[in-house]
Structure 1
Amino acid sequence: MDKLSAMQAYCRIVDRGSFTRAAEDLGVSAALLSREVSRLEASLGVALLSRTTRRMTLTEAGRTYYDEALVILQAVGSFEERIQKTAGVVSGHLKVNAPSSFGQVVVAPMLPGFCKQYPDLRVSLTLDDRVIDMVEGGFDLTLRIRSSMKDSTLRARKLGEVRVGIFASADYLARNGSPTTPEDIRHHQTCGYLLSEHLDTWDLTGPGGEISVPVDPKVRVGNSFVLVELLVAGMGLGTLPDFISGPAEEAGVLVRVLPDYALPTRAVWAVLPAGARQDGRVGAFLRALKEAISDLHS
């Protein structure tokens, strides 16, 4: 058993509070993670998790192991980063592909500082909302925003999460009223993002539990910035990720609708071609991007 991998898997399970969600993050099956934890518990001679059909809790030993494992994993990460820097491996040409809006709002602002930190590295950033062929495009890395990554031919690493909410302009709400329950959405005009995983159905979770609301967007666009403009112009309700909605909401040009309800959280995935090795170029970029994503929610 690879103890380091087992530690990483165990910590992810604890962080996510679920074998299933941890398995989605790591790109493996929940059954595999369960066997991994069982082997870990057997090697330690103690139970780390108390599992029932409904919930999972940490034992006292499980909490101690989690706390200590985090320290070890952080130390390993710091050590690898120091080795990479002293070895001078952050050089060459890095080709990155990202969704248009995410690339402009999150990736582009971090690039100047990143390039100054690694002056021997050249970066090519391509923005495209559609899923591209990484091998054909010659990309070292592509970024995707979706609930899960199920393509077994790719290597994916989760960098962070994106929250999604419902928004409209104050003018539209003044003219049409503001929904007070998810069912009210059926009586409103909507606008949609063509490549969204929830274009025709909004799955909401809130005080009333989970509810799926069918929608039929009057206008459907392939760019998030165009969607924002439509919503600001009073064309109806629409869903936006937090990195897009934040500035518009702070400026008061968009209002959050049904603030106690949210659509499923999306993850930011870093995807490498099958068989590709994460070298110093990719590792340095992912560390910088993960920090930029973290800053969105700070």
Structure 2
Amino acid sequence: MDKFSVMTAYCRIVERGSFARAAEDLGVSAALLSKEIKLLEESLGSILLSRTTRSMSVTDAGQQYYEEALSILEAVSKLDGRIREVSGSVKGQLRINAPNSFGQAVISPMLPAFLEKHPDLRLTLSLDDRVVDMIEGGFDLSIRVRSSLPDSSLIARRLGRVQQCLFASPDYLETAPALNQPDDIKAHPVIGFLLADHVSEWSLLGPGGPHTFSFKPHVKVGSSFVLRDLLIAGHGIGTLPDFISQAPVREGKLVRILPAFSLQPREVFAVSASRFGMQAKVSAFLDHLQRAMKDCIHNAL
């Protein structure tokens, strides 16, 4: 059991008053948090949280543990900060894995400033749309854009939420059939994304709840950038994440269609092997990334 990680999780549960809310903040499942706290209680021989199916309360021992754990975690954080200030720079080898489109659209533009700020850092950035084994691959950090993450021994930090909406070019819409409701999509050529959960099916969230329907894509591509370019060229309609769509919409090259509807949003997670094993180089990269995300993702934290 990683005691620092469990301390962090426990403090978040107490502060949020809920396993579910703490799990959402930490990017893990409530079931995994419950298991970790149970193991912690067994190791201490004391009940920290009194739980029923409807409520949770902190015991006297739990309150004492929370206060002491919070003090320890704050001391560790201050120590990390002092060491970083003394060293004056972030050094060493940093290996990062990220999805291809996110890497090109979000990470690539921020890299020059990041590397200029940390000239002693040696960076390896691997872009791959497959979910890789980050430990086997030797990565310090993996960025994943997914609706959820499976339970694992890895530690996930949620960085933001990506919206996925429907788009077409203004030129295409001038002569295309009307698009006033989801069923109207059937009269239009659709450009499908090969890496989507359902390349021939959309479940649109809107005022009347989910609206799921199947279609036969006119074209199927495995790159969000290729999909974007085909939409701009007027080859039909399709979906894009906001970090890809924002610029062409701002430039008037794409228009959002059916604005009351969108696909299920996806979360941006930073995954590492250990929360308190996180080195200064990883923290520095994540701080820089989060600042960059605020410029291209509406729901960046």
TM-score (norm: length of structure 1): 0.77
Give a deviation string over 1:141-160, Cα, whole Å, max 9, x none.
22111101115253322211
In percent, how many aligned pairs have the same letter? 41
Aligned residue for 2:264, secondary structure, equals coil
Is it true that 1:251 corresponds to 2:259 in the alignment? Answer: no
Task: Report the Cα offset of residue 264 of structure 1.
Answer: 1.2
Taking a change above 3 Å as real, the CA distance of residues 8 and 279 of structure 1, as seen in their structure-2 partners, is same
Match of 1:8 in 2: 12
1:216 Cα deviation after fit: 2.4
Once the two structures are TM-superposed, the CA of residue 91 in structure 1 deviates from its matched residue by 1.1
Contact in 2 for aligned 1:186/1:213 (Cα 8 Å): no
Give ranges in structure 1 of 5+ residues lacking alignment.
46-70
CA 134–206 in structure 1, closer or farther in 2 if over 3 Å, else same: same
In structure 2, relative to structure 1, the CA distance for the partners of 1:118 and 1:220 (3 Å cut) is: same
Structure with max Cα Rg: 2
Q: Which amino acid aligns with 2:116?
A: K
Q: Distance in 2 between matches of 1:226 and 1:203?
A: 22
Q: Spell out the pairing of 1:31-46 with structure 2 (5 A cutoff).
A: 32=34, 38=50, 41-43=57-59
Cα-to-partner distance string for 1:236-280 (whole Å, 9 max, x where unaligned): 111100010000111111110111111111111112358993222
CA change 1:41–1:153 in 2 (3 A) is closer
Pick closer, same or farther for the CA change 1:7–1:216 going to 2, 3 Å. farther
1:10–1:243 Cα change, 3 Å? farther
Give, in angstroms, the shift of residue 78 of structure 1: 6.5
Q: Residues 142 and 111 (structure 1 numbering): CA distance in 2 closer, same or farther, change over 3 Å? A: same
Secondary structure of residue in 2 paired with 1:289:
helix
Distance across 2 between alignment mates of 1:180 and 1:23: 37
Once residues 72 and 198 of structure 2 are traced to their aligned partners in structure 1, the CA distance between those partners, rounded to angstroms, is 36
Q: Is the 8 A contact 1:12 1:22 kept in 2?
A: no
Residue matched to 1:25: 27
Q: How far apart, CA to CA, are the structure 2 residues paired with 1:274 and 1:243?
A: 28
Look up the match of 2:41. Answer: none
> In 1, distance between residues paired with 2:76 and 2:208?
42
How many pairs are equivalent?
274
Residues 205-244 of structure 1 mapped to structure 2, 5 A cutoff: 205-244=205-244
Q: How many angstroms apart in 2 are the aligned matches of 1:152 and 1:257?
A: 38
Question: Per-residue deviation at 1:162?
Answer: 0.8
Q: Show CA shifts across 1:196-215 (max 9, x none).
A: 23422212112122221223
Equivalent residue number for residue 145 of structure 2: 145
2: distance between equivalents of 1:7 and 1:275?
A: 14
Which position in structure 2 is the counterpart of 1:287? 287
Q: 2:28, 2:151 within 8 Å by CA — same for their partners in 1?
A: no
Task: Specify whether residues 183 and 31 from structure 1 end up closer, same or farther in structure 2 by C-alpha distance, changes over 3 A only.
Answer: farther
Q: How does 1:93-172 map onto structure 2 within 5 Å? A: 93-172=93-172
Deviations 1:61-94 (A, max 9, x none): xxxxxxxxxx999977973652341353831010
Q: CA deviation at 1:231?
A: 0.8
SS at the partner of 1:90? coil
Deviation at 1:129, TM superposition (A): 2.0
**CA distance in structure 1 between the aligned counterparts of 2:72 and 2:251, rounded to whole angstroms:** 40
Q: Identify which range, 202-211 or 125-134, moves more after superposition.
A: 125-134
Other-structure match for 2:82? 83
Q: TM-score scaled by structure 2?
A: 0.76
2:253 and 2:72 mapped to 1: Cα distance?
Answer: 43
How many Å separate the matches in 1 of 2:141 and 2:33? 29
CA 1:44–1:275 in 2, change beyond 3 Å: closer, same or farther? closer
| More off after superposition, 184-193 vs 260-269 | 184-193
What residue ranges of structure 2 are gaps of 5+ in the alignment?
Answer: 39-47, 62-69
Which residue of 2 is the match for residue 186 of structure 1? 186
Secondary structure class of the residue paired with 1:111: helix
- SS of residue paired to 1:85: helix
Cα distance in 2 between the residues matched to 1:240 and 1:280: 34
On the 8 A contact 2:145/2:267 being kept in 1, the answer is yes
1:180-209 CA-partner distances (Å, limit 9, x unpaired): 112222232211221123422212112122
Distance 1:241-1:81 versus aligned 2 partners, 3 A rule: farther
